[in-house]
Structure formats: C-alpha cells, structure tokens
Amino acid sequence: MRLPNHTLTTTVVFLTSLSALTLDVSAESPANETKPTTVSVFGAAEMTVPPQFKRVDVQSRILEHEFQAKAGEGDAAQTARVTMMAAGGDVADNIKRWNGQFAGGDKAAQKSEAMKIGDWQVHIVDASGSYQERMGGGPFAGGKVVTREDYGMTGAILVHPEGRKYFVKMIGPATVIKANRKAFVDMIKSIDK
C-alpha cells in the first residue's frame, strides 16, 4: 500500500522536528549544571553559596534565605538546615545562647573564632551534642522543644562595619555538619570577594 504524498511529507516533517528537539535537549544539558548562588548581605556585600547547598522554602518568616546541606546519597542522605537572616543583640550573648541550645557533646569541639574578613568582623561558632530545637517560629516564639540527639552547628555572626549583624547557621546531624563545615566557612569568607 502506498501512502499519499501529504501523509509522507507530514511524517518526514514530524520525524525531522523530533530529531531536532532531541538534539536541542542534549545541547542544553550543560546549562542545567548546578552553579553557586549569591545572596546579598545588607546590600553591602554578596556571599557565594556553594552549589551543593540546595535552596529550599524558608520555614520561618524571620529568615531571608534557607538552604539544605546533605551528606550521603539517595534516600539515606541526612540533611541540615542552612539559614540566613538579619539579627541583633550582643555578639557574646548570641554565642552563649547558641551554645546553650546544645548539651553534652565533645567539649573540645565547642569553640568560637573571631576573624576580620575585609571590612566585616566575623565570628564562627561550633557546637555539638543534644540540640534543643524550638518548634514554631524561632528561638523566642515559645512553643514545643524537641531534643535532637547527636546534632551539630556551625554558625557565623557577620558584623557589618556600621554594626548591623547577620546570622548564618548550619544545624543538623553532626555527620552532615562535619561533612559540610569547610564549604560553609568558605561561603562565609566569600563575603570579601
């Protein structure tokens, strides 16, 4: 049986279009590779978020940005929250409050370090142990407290030259914090670039 010319032409056009579509999709795949994200800090500087930190919806209105860090692959991967927000209060009081949210843990791993990065004064804080997570709106909102065993935190307080403060915290299972600490600190140090 012989097909009419218009059916044959339509079939050839369709197959040619399908072939072009397939080529276009494969040609675009390098553009879909994960790239770092930048976030503005008070409009005065930018911080480069590493590509392995995936942006997620913020879980609280007080947060400006939230990302997820993970360790492991697939369904077995554990995750930690990476949160960013403008904040206030005394630096030493905030560090004390952050450390007070953890009980037990390796005392040698509980540390804070101050450094100057460009015009910014930066405080990096590490804590671990049993984390007392306050559910529902942040540390001062009240609500139920849930104890998370074997958790860790690496946090940073960035102090703008005019005194404004910006908090960046990574909190989650201790193994996730350990696996992502270097990337977190590199992200904080990128504020000077």
Residues 2 and 85 placed together within one structural domain of the fold: no
Residues 84 and 132 placed together within one structural domain of the fold: yes
Using CA atoms, how far apart are residues 154 and 189, in angstroms rounded to an integer? 14
How many other CB atoms are found less than 10 A from the CB of residue 144? 8
Residues 69 and 157 placed together within one structural domain of the fold: yes
Encode pLDDT of 47-104 as tens digits: 999 999 999 999 999 999 999 999 988 888 999 999 999 999 999 999 999 999 999 9
Residue 66: which CATH number?
3.40.1000.10
Tally of domains in the chain:
2
Query: For position 96, what pLDDT does the model report?
Result: 95
Assign 20 to helix, strand or coil. Answer: helix
Residues 134 and 172 placed together within one structural domain of the fold: yes
Residues 171 and 159 placed together within one structural domain of the fold: yes
Residues 17 and 94 placed together within one structural domain of the fold: no
Whether the CB-CB separation of 93 and 171 falls below 8 Å is answered with no
Residues 29 and 87 placed together within one structural domain of the fold: no
Q: Is the pLDDT of residue 5 over 80?
A: no
Using CA atoms, how far apart are residues 59 and 66, in angstroms rounded to an integer? 8
Encode pLDDT of 102-143 as tens digits: 999 888 778 999 999 999 999 999 999 999 988 765 555 567
Residues 110 and 15 placed together within one structural domain of the fold: no
Q: Are strands 120-134 and 54-55 parallel, antiparallel or unpaired?
A: unpaired
Assign 160 to helix, strand or coil. Answer: coil
Encode pLDDT of 134-180 as tens digits: 876 555 556 788 999 999 999 999 999 999 999 999 999 999 999 99
Residues 132 and 167 placed together within one structural domain of the fold: yes
For tokens 């218009």, the residue is 6
> Could you tell me which of 157, 14, 148 has the C-alpha nearest to residue 79?
148
Residues 22 and 85 placed together within one structural domain of the fold: no
Using CA atoms, how far apart are residues 130 and 67, in angstroms rounded to an integer? 22
Boundaries of domain holding 9: 1-33
Residues 124 and 155 placed together within one structural domain of the fold: yes
Residues 96 and 180 placed together within one structural domain of the fold: yes
Using CA atoms, how far apart are residues 143 and 75, in angstroms rounded to an integer? 30
Write the CB contacts of 145 (distance below 8 Å, at least 6 apart in sequence): 132, 133, 134, 135
Using CA atoms, how far apart are residues 20 and 27, in angstroms rounded to an integer? 10
